Chains A and B, each alone.
Chain A
Amino acid sequence: MQIVKREGTSVKQLIIIRLIAIIAAVIVSGVFIVFLGYDPVKVYSNMISGALGSRIRFRSTLLEMVPLVITSLGILVAFKMKFWNIGGEGQILMGAFAATYIALFVDWIPKYLVLPVMFIVGFLAGGIWGLIPAFFKAKFGANETIMTLMLNYIAVQWITYLQYGPWRDPELKGFAKIANFPDHALLPKVMGIHIGFYISLILVAVLTWFLRKTKRGFEIAVVGESVSTARYAGMDISRIIMSTMLLSGGLCGITGVVQAAGVTKTLTMNVSSGYGFTAVITTYLSGLSAPRVLVVSFLFAILLQGGSYIQSALQIPQAAAEVLQGMILFCALGSEFFTRYKVRFARKNSVSSEVKQS
């Protein structure tokens, strides 16, 4: 058996590969469901109807999608530059932290300006959290993967400290929780969905334009492809890395603002329930295309929403539902490999396999 690199993949091949992945996921997970003693058909139909079956369910699927979309966009700009930002989690939390400060502790801002200011400071705080590793990468060549990851833990501990310490709501006596946002600091709703959803759609459009049509978008792509080419073309690489990470972290920070002001209504650890990491997957699956982030995030939201629905509807334990999600995801990610490589079965006198990578 040989694994051979594909020379370009046609759209038809891509569709076939993806379809096979979905079928494989359904079959493998089906076997797992049977083992658990459930009817796979019933589980699958419940997952779908749980995510899309009614207006309310559809709406909550869309709400589940919002943080994935915005965070993915943030991760996307960094990945386009081959800057491996896996610190989305910390950037989300720092964005939420800054917005919470405005919402709860600044009272001199006119009420109608509170939300816009929250977005601005949320963007800046997330951006600064992204800028720190970018600075060290640009100036000293520090490894951005480790730095962004480590900054997550600092952010998590910082929020925990605030929750149990100085920002703990005194009115709740013994319960460690930060006070809820006042009404003017909550996201208004349009057609039953908070405006974070519409903001995410606008951001997709803006980012698509930014990456395709602006000079900075072009520079990001060139730096991502080859730093020496960028240098050759006279680009200021440090500045590009830092400003791009300000944007990347800033977008993640916006996720924090949207989740705090639209969903949790205060600052808690739940503001970012792993979106910073999930977005790495959705960004990767989208092939670094902003419009496709929307599609992938929607499918992902169905998976999350359907997964939590079957827990309550069919009494499937949470762990089992998560295994199910994991298996479907495994097939989807695994199929990516086959879009770039194909397996060829050689003649029978071959003894060992060889891997050719070029």
Chain B
Amino acid sequence: MDKTVLVEMRNICKTFGVIRANINVNFSVYEGEIHGLLGENGAGKSTLVNMLSGIYRPDSGSIFIHGRQVNIHSPKHAIELGIGMIHQHFKLVDVLTAAENIMLGYRKQGFTSRKSMIGSIRDVMTRYGMEVDLNKKIRDMSVSEKQTVEILKVLYRGSKILILDEPTAVLTPQETRKLFEILRNLAKTGCAIIIITHKLNEIMEITDRVTVLRQGKSVATVETSGTNIRELTELMVGKPINLSIERVNTPRGNVLLSVNGLTALGEHNVPVLDNVTFDLYEGEILGVAGVAGSGQKELCETIAGLYPVAKGDILFKGENIVGYSPREIIKRGISMSFIPEDRLGMGLVPSMDMVDNMLLKDYVNQPGITINRKPAREKAERVMKRLDILAPGIYTPIRKLSGGNIQKVLLGREIDANPHLLITAYPVRGLDIGASYTIYDLLKEQKKKGVGILYIGEDLDVLIELCDRIMVLCYGKVTGIVDAQRVTKEDLGLMMAGVSPDKKEDAACK
């Protein structure tokens, strides 16, 4: 049986300034195929698909759609060619209904009746076995419903080639399974699906073939059934790597941080943290799992004194620190370090060098009105050596370093202060595999020293392997705190969706 090639990209090159994002990339997708695009951050995955969806144009190389060479010059042109992109961040209008969003900006003839359009949307839905309430407003929808609307939107516009950029990042395991079902149905009807992800087990589960990109080059295209996670990792990283995280077992110490009934309000006074209660012990890594936006950020920031607390207590070694500003926390010698999620937007100053970034929290403790940069210089050199930071020197602006090295600068600065409590929010986000493992090692080292660590993570496998206990948040509520060695990913997934571990009946917590 001959398979028809729907998309073919040959010898694609694209540079941004001095960065060569794509170098002679070859990539082809068959009709009815789910094709994974795998690669580390900065490997050129997004650049490649953005050329397919008309956002960028290749410097050289050619693109064939249905065997015809095309020059895709705009996103509109891409849609005409039947290419639909589903972005990681949804592009929907909150106050409109699903049907309105799907119809928005799309008109085949001059006038079309609303009724007939809704009719044809329903046709698309039944054809692919999708379910969504067309009259529901986007703002009342869950993330996975919104995603379905996005998919429906591109299908309605007649797309036969679907590109999904990290579609599962915001979904629970259960929602992911539903998405995959839809994708399989689509493939059966002859659509070509390109799915970008760095989650290897999802690649194994859903795709027919995988193309691996490394440093802008396409290193291999393999049949999924003939490969395994280990091989894919090697292709992706370029060298063999040990994927297991060795757990360090340290005796649990005293209670370090005790959070009682913590409540914080977000926009429109909706609670973003709802009666959160937990204890964190010395020498323990407490993981926090949850769908993105379940209150993780607010939890970290309330403890660090950056987000107002509405109700509840935060006891650090018995002292209530609610209401302390970050400055008071530093001045009172409360030995706490916070590694925020947005490293360059919050933890570091990107245009400044390592020396000035080391000063960020220390300068205030210096006497007088002037700044002595000598201790900061020493600290920068010490941190650089201790964490093997690759940088031209301590006077290079931070923003010129790679993501992994930037994270090491931040973590290095905080660890150097010998904190008793370390709060880390997504510390490996955006890092490649090698750098991620360095970060895990550093955290384990701190654990051995008796530091209490609050670890906000997104990869459930890592949470299970790295942490002692895992607390699951759903809409700002704690659905449970479980022993990491005894919990399964399935259970965590259910808890992320709001089902408490003890009563497994359906109890969505919205």
Name A residues whose Cβ lies closer than 8 Å to a Cβ of B. 4-8, 213-218, 221-222, 225-226, 228-229, 231-236, 346-347, 349-352, 354, 356, 358
**Is B340 on the interface with A (CB-CB < 8 A)?**
yes
The total number of A-B Cβ pairs within 8 Å is: 84
Q: How far is the CA of A346 from the CA of B19 in the complex (A)?
A: 17
Are A226 and B371 in contact, with the CB atoms below 8 A?
Answer: no
Is B340's CB under 8 angstroms from A234's CB? no
Let me know if B364 and A234 touch, CB within 8 A: yes
Contacts of A351 in B (CB 8 A): 71, 73
When chains A and B are docked, how far (Å) is the Cα of A222 from the Cα of B327?
Answer: 15
B111 within 8 A of A: no
List the A side residues contacting B400 at CB < 8 Å. Answer: 8
Contact A231 B350, beta carbon cutoff 8 Å: no
The answer to whether B361 touches A233, judged by C-beta atoms less than 8 angstroms apart, is yes
Question: Which of A216, A221, A233, A358 has its CB near the most chain B CB atoms (within 10 A)?
Answer: A233
Provide the residues of chain B in CB contact with A232, threshold 8 Å. 304, 306, 326, 338, 340, 346-347, 360
**Residues from chain B with Cβ under 8 Å of A234 in the complex:** 325-330, 361, 364
Known A-B contacts A215-B366, A218-B371; the reply to A7 vs B360 at CB < 8 A is no
As a 0/1 sequence over residues 342 to 377 of chain B, the CB contacts with chain A under 8 angstroms (1 = contact) are 100111111110001001110110100111000000
B-chain residues with CB within 8 Å of residue A235 when the two chains form the complex: 327
In this complex, which of A8, A228, A350 has the most chain B Cβ atoms within 10 angstroms of its Cβ? Answer: A228
Q: Which of A215, A236, A349 contacts B363 (CB 8 A)?
A: A215
- Report the bound CA distance from A8 to B347 in whole Å: 23
Contacts of B345 in A (CB 8 A): 226, 228-229
**How many residues of B are counted as interface, with CB atoms below 8 angstroms from the partner's CB atoms?**
41
Q: Is the CB of B366 within 8 A of A233?
A: no
Given contacts A232-B347, A352-B73, contact A221 B360 (CB under 8 A): no
Contact B19 A221 (CB under 8 A): no
In the complex formed, the residue of A with least CB distance to B368 is: A215
Q: Is B74 an interface residue (CB 8 A)?
A: yes
Q: How far, in whole Å, are A282 and B359 apart by their CA atoms in the complex? A: 31
Q: Are A5 and B17 in contact (CB under 8 A)?
A: yes
Asked whether B57 is an interface residue with its Cβ less than 8 Å from the other chain, the reply is: yes
B361 to chain A: which residues have CB within 8 Å?
233-234
B74 contacts A215, C-beta separation under 8 Å: no
* A225 to B399 CA separation, bound complex (whole angstroms): 12
**Interface residue B156 (Cβ < 8 Å from any Cβ of A):** no
Q: Add 5 more A-B contacts to A213-B370, A222-B360, A234-B330 (CB < 8 A).
A: A214-B370, A215-B369, A233-B360, A234-B327, A350-B57
A215 and B328 alpha carbons, distance in the complex (Å): 17
Smallest CB separation, B320 vs chain A (Å):
19
Q: Could you tell me if B56 and A233 are in contact, using CB atoms closer than 8 angstroms?
A: no
Beta-carbon contact of B17 and A6 below 8 Å: yes
Q: Which residue of B lies closest to A350 (CB)?
A: B57
**B17 engages A229 (CB within 8 Å):** no
Nearest B residue to A7, CB-CB: B17
Determine the chain A residues whose CB is within 8 A of the CB of B348 once the complex forms: 229
A347 to B61, CA, bound (A): 12
Rounded to whole Å, the gap between the CB of A354 and the closest CB of chain B is 6
Residue A228 contacts which of B60, B346, B363 (CB distance < 8 angstroms)?
A: B346
Complex formed: what's the CA distance from A8 to B56 in Å?
A: 22
Q: Which of B17, B304, B349, B366 contacts A225 (CB 8 A)?
A: B349
